[in-house]
Structure 1
Amino acid sequence: MNKIIERKERLSSADRRSQIINTALGLFAKKGLSGTRTKEIANEAGISETLIFQHFKTKEDLYRAALKELFDTHPLMPEVEGLMAKKDDSGVFSTLALHLIKHNREDPRIMRLAIFSALEGRHTANLFSHREEIEPPLPQLLSDYIQKRINEGAFNRVNARIAGQLFVETVFMYIADQETSITGSSLSFSDEETVETLVSIFLNGLKS
């Protein structure tokens, strides 16, 4: 009889929810949202599928909770808020870029989920990118800062939204290229030197 036998240990509601989220995160990172079935998550966690829906109304709700868990583990705002307040332009861009690189190395699920969100179409991409309840999406965070500096006369008048988006996309491309060598042999320079060069080029363009 192919019936799920739930684990004997009794977990609190909060612990069970956390277990489901962490199990789902691993599968979402391997198969994406569309490729992961709630039955698989239940099997992996050793629980019934019904129990998942006692904690989450839909698979999309579970996906949102999984993203929140993942990004709460890698918070960015505490690192950049002080630099933004000081108007340390180089520090803001460098810290943001190195944060993305460092935390992707520590937890490759971030990049995997980002790639799947792009491949699976607009619905999943929107779920991944609209995470305001966690913290502002990185392009928005950077675009707002760029616009503020434009208004203060520190940066040239450019489209801040495009500038913020392109900077973040460039960093993600670097991360992906280091992992897969899309454009050829990976750079042999340190992340710090690479980011310093990128930020210098970017800021020179904004300030020239």
Structure 2
Amino acid sequence: MADEMEQWLSSLLRLNDEEEKMTDKQIKIIQAAVEIFAEKGYSATSTSEIAQKAGVAEGTIFRHYKTKKDLLISIVTPIMSKLVAPFVLRDFHKVLESEYEHFEDFLRAVMRNRLEFGMKNAPIIKIMLHEIPFHPELQSQFREQIVPKVAQRLERIVEHFQANGELIDMPPMTVMRMGASVIIGYILTRCIINPENSWNDEEEIERAVQFIMHGLTPVRG
């Protein structure tokens, strides 16, 4: 997890640096804030804790960020707009635009792709899960920059396999929501809630796919 945090922090600092040249103290503040936000959550974190971990005076934080919330937004915004959204369009785009013979094949590809993303970006996912429900600005960024970029394509995929007779006649958004619940549930458990468990990802992916396709009803001959 330490290596993943270092990789993610490097990505964040590189994205921020594209906007403005960051000072050494500002970099230390961002690094400290990410680590403490991910561990304790935004509300339970004080600017004095961030300053102490960063090795700077608390007043230094407020010279760069007017409030603690400005610091949070400065961390999440570049990731949302430059890392998460482009990742969805680029890497997830490959999954969404590929041809699949069966809906099961599509589900497996989605789970593998999103699991890889979750494992690489666990710290920011944790912060976003903590904070998006409580900050309208972050909710709006998520709705505007991520959801529309995949929802329409997913709907077309569901409609295609419904027309082929592989899926029941149900509103595509309902199919998407139910499938997403299973997929996201595994990824969050695997990457955030219990990452230390001895997971067999391929077995878990297959179980999730079969659950989405067949539910809990046993097949009767």
- TM-score normalised over the length of structure 2: 0.60
Question: Which residues of 2 match residues 149-188 of structure 1 at below 5 A?
Answer: 149-150=157-158, 153=163, 157-178=169-190
The residue that corresponds to 2:66 in the other structure is 57
- TM-aligned CA deviation for residue 81 of structure 1: 0.9
The change in CA–CA distance for 1:100 and 1:85 in structure 2 (over 3 A counts) is: closer
In structure 2, give the amino acid aligned to 1:79.
D
SS at match of 1:33: coil
Q: Is the 8 A contact 2:76 2:128 kept in 1?
A: no
Please say if 1:34 is aligned against 2:43.
yes
- Structure 2 counterpart of 1:123, from 119, 126, 134: 134
- TM-aligned CA deviation for residue 38 of structure 1: 1.8
The change in CA–CA distance for 1:159 and 1:177 in structure 2 (over 3 A counts) is: same
Structure 2 Cα separation of the partners of residues 169 and 80 of structure 1: 18
- TM-aligned CA deviation for residue 191 of structure 1: 1.0
- Structure 1 runs, 4 residues or longer, greater than 6 Å off: none
Q: Is the 8 A contact 2:32 2:54 kept in 1?
A: yes
Please say if 1:24 is aligned against 2:33.
yes
Q: Is the 8 A contact 1:42 1:48 kept in 2?
A: yes
- Structure 2 counterpart of 1:80, from 70, 73, 92: 92
In structure 2, give the amino acid aligned to 1:96.
V
Post-superposition CA distance 1:153-172 (Å, at most 9, x none) = 46655344443333333233
The change in CA–CA distance for 1:133 and 1:174 in structure 2 (over 3 A counts) is: closer
Structure 2 Cα separation of the partners of residues 130 and 49 of structure 1: 30
Please say if 1:202 is aligned against 2:212.
yes
How large is the Cα RMSD of the aligned pairs? Answer: 3.8
- Structure 2 counterpart of 1:93, from 94, 98, 107: 107
Structure 1 Cα separation of the partners of residues 121 and 93 of structure 2: 23
- TM-aligned CA deviation for residue 23 of structure 1: 1.7
- TM-aligned CA deviation for residue 36 of structure 1: 0.9
The change in CA–CA distance for 1:42 and 1:176 in structure 2 (over 3 A counts) is: same
Structure 2 Cα separation of the partners of residues 95 and 19 of structure 1: 38
Where does structure 2 lack aligned partners over 5 or more consecutive residues?
A: 1-19, 216-221
Post-superposition CA distance 1:20-65 (Å, at most 9, x none) = 2222111111110111112211221122333323333332232233
SS at match of 1:57: coil
Greater helix share, structure number: 2
- Structure 2 counterpart of 1:146, from 134, 154, 157: 154
Give the stretch that moved more between structures: 18-27 or 190-199. 190-199
In structure 2, give the amino acid aligned to 1:20.
I
Structure 1 Cα separation of the partners of residues 171 and 62 of structure 2: 44
Structure 2 Cα separation of the partners of residues 128 and 99 of structure 1: 24
Structure 2 Cα separation of the partners of residues 130 and 166 of structure 1: 23
The change in CA–CA distance for 1:105 and 1:81 in structure 2 (over 3 A counts) is: closer
The change in CA–CA distance for 1:157 and 1:55 in structure 2 (over 3 A counts) is: farther
Structure 1 Cα separation of the partners of residues 145 and 75 of structure 2: 14
- TM-aligned CA deviation for residue 203 of structure 1: 5.3
